[in-house]
Chains A and B, each alone.
With several copies, the nearest count.
Chain A
Amino acid sequence: MSKKITSILIANRGEIALRVIRACRDLGIKSIAIYSDEDIRAVHVKRADEAYHIGPAAPAQSYLNMTKIVETAKAAGADAIHPGYGFLSENENFSEMCDKNGIIFIGPTSKAMELTGDKMKCKAVMKKAKVPTVPGSDGIVEDMQEAADIADEAGYPVLLKSAFGGGGRGIRLANDEKQLRQEFEMASAESRAAFGKAALFVEKYLERIRHIEFQLIRDSHGNSRHLFERECSIQRRHQKLIEMSPSPVVDQKTRERIGEIAVRAVDAVDYLNAGTAEFLRDPQGNFYFIEINSRLQVEHPVTELVTGLDLVKLQIGVAQGEELTFKQQDLKMNGCAIECRINAEDPFYEFAPSTGIVPNCNLPYGPGIRVDTYLYPGCNVSGYYDSLVAKLLAWGRNFDESRIRMKHALDEFMIEGINTTIPLYKTIMDDPNFIKGELSTDYLERFKILNKMSENAKEAAKKSAKAAVAAVLLQSEFVRKTEAIHQSSMPKSKWKMMRG
């Protein structure tokens, strides 16, 4: 494990592949990209030192094809594989396959990954390590009495969940014991009817929760550090849209307290490399561990901006057996960073996917602005892969400075040819609840943000009305003049085609 890495195959695409390529370059490591048929003109192919074709567009046959990727890594002479996020990043079989083939997997061991991937097992380990988890039963409850005892301990309201349910189905809310009895009977009957047996468990119902996570890094010598928190409460369909650090509700004392718990969590599973401990926070300020994400996260640049650290470079260092060079107390939080995930989705039309060629784009820049993206003029936004096309980040000395910089960077960000979530974020940056830090995972619905966005769009149309009419007049005038010239065969046009 203490072999110096000289070349890395990046088993991913899009902005994260480019991000890893940059880190490789900075470390003097050869970067090796892979690409599907769909991605031959993608930016990661152009920027890597080498690029290998690995299969058709469909992920199963390319970016998820473990055998092909390991073969390619061996043929190209790669010392290590960086999985990015998504695809094979949390696949313990892949990590193991790398291991068996003498390739360093830049991420946790397959053993740690297996444990963090099993929520029930992981929860049990955490309880043993005194990491607070969401109160409730450890597994399936035997009968109504056990359910009532657990509910008493956890405190009402509680949720009654069917082990066979999923996606919100089979979940029942109980505000007191009487209601719990009613619901328990009905749920048991329902479950027996559908699946032949009742398998229910009890969990405390958390309302108005925030999603707050701690970035962690742990080396092969057992040193663990937390790199502070990220607030990721603004979500849609359980997917994060906006992340920031610090969280408006985490003060230095809480940061240290929960940070220590997060460190305990990764120590408990003998974790390796970068990872994230995710917590729910209720309005009373209680934190409940929910899971460890055993990979580099999409939102890692938020942490990079407030710590000054380069997480991908750290990952590579840890993977080649280096010891972390900083102690917990060496780390200082500097200012505030916000990230908006620019997705190729239409926020005015139920976030429908939007794909195709981007004929032109303009990336924002300026003080405090960072963009991680695979976009370039002429690039293809493919329907085969996920909708994240860019991550826009703004750093400021405080929340307000970063928020205002973000707002104006969103104004500057121009992406032609596809719809994106930019209009949504513009609305959020100006929303008084966001400004007050009044966040929760139901933020979008709670404050009717989509309605506000539509109103803002109408306001914008009002402001642009004159210019829009002017454009129509110019367009028809241009056509008229062009036709007149064609008809009269005049050699020269006063309305020359100007290149601006």
Chain B
Amino acid sequence: MQFKVGDLAEMLEGEVLRTTDNNSVVVKIGGKQHTLQLLKSGTDEFEFLLDNSFHHAKILQVGTAEVKMMIDGQPLVVKKHSKLTEVLEKASAIGGVGGGDRNLTSQIPGRVVNIAAKPGTEVKKGDVIVVLESMKMQVAVKAHKDGNLKEIKVKQGASVARNDVLAVIE
């Protein structure tokens, strides 16, 4: 299978050739054969030696098309490349489908300290809609697109979690 690692332009071909009894796995990555010596292996955490160097991987999220992980302390997304993902990427690049795009979500957990816009009014991309407070910092949540501010989903003083929907813009 082809993998796209982070923002890197080149693809990497990767496959498992065989696994052995003494906790080692032979793989082929980028055309070269490597023996991975496993130190730790579980559902979401792997430790292994690759080319005699230690690596630690913590798998954060596994999707059908991509895997999010921390590799050696750095966050990284690996995309499994196929015709299907190409099609999906093109589609999303054109301009989004479904309702996900209407929702303005919070990127951080925090408390709502100010509602800066009125429902029913027209807003421009970048206008401040809601101000959140967390860790003694005020963080402005701005409109992600031009449109009509249909609804504000939170009240002043409320606590919000990351990815909560704060407002709907249509």
Contact = CB atoms under 8 A, between A and B. Distances in A.
B41 interface: yes
A499 interface: yes
B86 interface: no
22 contacts: A40-B37, A45-B49, A349-B107, A353-B134, A355-B108, A355-B135, A383-B134, A461-B5, A461-B6, A461-B8, A464-B71, A469-B14, A469-B78, A471-B57, A471-B71, A473-B16, A473-B27, A475-B62, A494-B19, A497-B42, A498-B38, A498-B39
A499 B39 CA distance: 8
B130 interface: no
B116 interface: no
A124 interface: no
B7 interface: yes
Contact of B54 (A48, A386, A479, A499): A48
Nearest to A44: B54
A468 B71 contact: yes
A223 to B, nearest CB: 36
Interface-centre pick from A460, A471, A477 (highest chain B CB count, 10 A): A471
Interface stretch (B28-36, B94-102, B119-127, B146-154): B28-36
B139 interface: yes
Contacts of B134: 353, 355, 383
Interface string A477-490: 11101100000000
Contacts of B59: 471, 475
Interface string A339-381: 0000011000111111110000000000000000000000000
B41 A354 contact: no
Interface of B: 3, 5-8, 12, 14-16, 19, 21, 23, 25, 27, 29-30, 34, 36-43, 46-59, 62, 67, 69-74, 76, 78, 80, 107-111, 134-137, 139
Contacts of A460: 72, 74
A477 B40 contact: no
Contacts of A351: 137
A352 B110 CA distance: 11
Given A386-B136, A475-B67, A51 B49 contact: yes
Nearest to B137: A353
Of the four ranges (under 10, 10 to 19, 20 to 34, 35 or more), the interface on chain A belongs to 35 or more
B14 A473 contact: yes
A477 B54 contact: no
Contacts of A48: 54
Given A416-B70, A461-B76, A477-B16, A472 B3 contact: yes
Contacts of A142: none
A465 B137 contact: no
A49 interface: yes
A9 to B, nearest CB: 12
A238 interface: no
B6 to A, nearest CB: 4
A127 interface: no
A416 B139 CA distance: 23
B3 to A, nearest CB: 5
A468 B39 contact: no
A465 B23 contact: no
A457 B78 contact: no
A383 B40 contact: no
Interface string A29-57: 00000000000110001111111110000
Contacts of A470: 14, 27, 29, 34, 36, 48, 50, 55, 57
Contacts of A416: 58, 70
Given A344-B135, A414-B73, A416-B70, A469 B3 contact: yes
Contacts of A479: 43
Nearest to A47: B54
A495 to B, nearest CB: 6
